[in-house]
Amino acid sequence: MEPTTIREGYLVKKGTVLNTWKVVWVVLADDAIEFYKKKTDNSPKGMIPLKGATLTSPCQDFTKRTLVFKVSAAKKQDHFFQATHLEERELWVKDVKRAITCLQGGKKFARKSTRRSIRLPENVNLSELYVLMKDQDTGVKELKLEKDKRLFNHCFTGNTVIDWLISEGKARNRPEGLMLASGLLNEGFLQPAGDVSKDGAEKGAECVFLDQIEALYYFADSGFFCEGYSSDEDVIMKEEFRGAIVKQGCLLKQGHRRKNWKVRKFILRDDPAYIHYYDPTKGENDPLGSIHLRGSVVTAVEYVPDAKKLEADGNFFEIITSDETHYYLQAATSDERKDWIKAIQSVAKSGK
């Protein structure tokens, strides 16, 4: 009987020999994880049997990489995967854990909700708590804060988080609030911003979150960015990042010069309407480029000029900017293409 495919998509994986991080196409079946160099490849580059495997998330083996999870095979070989955003990691982790559990119990894979096995107050679900914290009306307010001659946008202080947890009845006192906040930080829902909070997160103490006004944090999928006071040109460039994140994920992008296809992480923001793209193996500090979406047109296309069939095939869409620059992108599935087109069209109409 053929294995059932549970989930598939792009992830960044650490090599087992050269220790380099590269984007791979990952397929989760009910008994194994296969990874391919390209989505169009017929044979996998490697395979991880899930029988007897364990999963660790969040994996904190790499201080400069977030959203990493580790799959340890029965033969004691560790495999490290990195997602491009928090929701993506949570979906992969949930399904991999479920597949491992089903194999151990001799059951057929079936999705169901699971609770995290971390030490927290009773009846606490971190995912639900995170959603409540992000509520624009009743949650923790995102602010622009100045510290050490830098402006931190879309962030908040550590003591503000603890105050909110107590005021909303999620924690009975500050020590319990610290435990909850540390859980959110460990799971990747919150991220440290600035030297004080980063130092606290790296100490390895039981409570890595700091209940201090000097400690700054931000939501993992917010529009956070930090800026200095170097020049007027810098300020203009930073304007591109002020918008809230509408959608993010990996897509294939065709290069303008060589016409080759590479996997890029895209972050779509509104007001101002920009989509930035990054090398998914190198984080989000320096985008490879940006597309100003105001006045642009985005449509699904079935044919891309100069597209090599072996590199990319199907689910294409095209962005034509107001200055008539053409960008060709490819989604992993037809549904994903529809979602991206809808999101970009909305931002292009409403954003500046």
Lowest mean pLDDT among 117-131, 271-285, 327-341: 117-131
- What pLDDT does residue 241 have? 79
Question: Residue 13 pLDDT more than 80?
Answer: yes
Residue 204 banded pLDDT, cuts 50, 70, 90: low
Percent of the chain surpassing pLDDT 90: 44
Question: Residue 55 pLDDT more than 90?
Answer: yes
Question: Encoding tokens for residue 335?
Answer: 């549904």
- What pLDDT does residue 296 have? 92
- 74-118 pLDDT, tens digit per residue, is 888 899 999 988 889 989 999 999 999 988 877 665 544 332 333
What is the mean predicted confidence (pLDDT) over 296-324?
83
Cβ atoms of 9 and 268 within 8 Å: the answer is: no
What is the mean predicted confidence (pLDDT) over 16-43?
90
- What pLDDT does residue 235 have? 45
Burial (CB count <10 Å: 0-12, 13-18, 19+), residue 240: middle
- What pLDDT does residue 351 have? 66
DSSP H helical ranges for 124-206: 126-133, 158-167, 174-186, 195-202
What whole-number distance in Å separates Cα of residue 31 and Cα of residue 48? 9
What whole-number distance in Å separates Cα of residue 277 and Cα of residue 290? 6
C-alpha 142, offset from chain centre: 19
- What pLDDT does residue 253 have? 94
- What pLDDT does residue 121 have? 55
Residues in the chain: 352
- 213-238 pLDDT, tens digit per residue, is 999 999 887 777 776 544 444 444 56
**Count of other CB atoms within 10 angstroms of residue 276:** 19
User: Which residues pair with residue 47 across a beta bridge?
Assistant: 34
What whole-number distance in Å separates Cα of residue 281 and Cα of residue 249? 13
- What pLDDT does residue 212 have? 93
- 240-295 pLDDT, tens digit per residue, is 777 788 999 999 999 888 888 999 999 999 888 999 999 999 877 778 999 999 88
- What pLDDT does residue 111 have? 44
- 134-183 pLDDT, tens digit per residue, is 998 999 999 888 887 778 888 999 999 999 999 999 999 999 999 899 88
Dihedral, 285, 287, 292, 298 alpha carbons, nearest 10: -120
If phi over 0 gives left and psi between -120 and 50 gives alpha, with beta otherwise, what is residue 291? beta
- What pLDDT does residue 63 have? 76
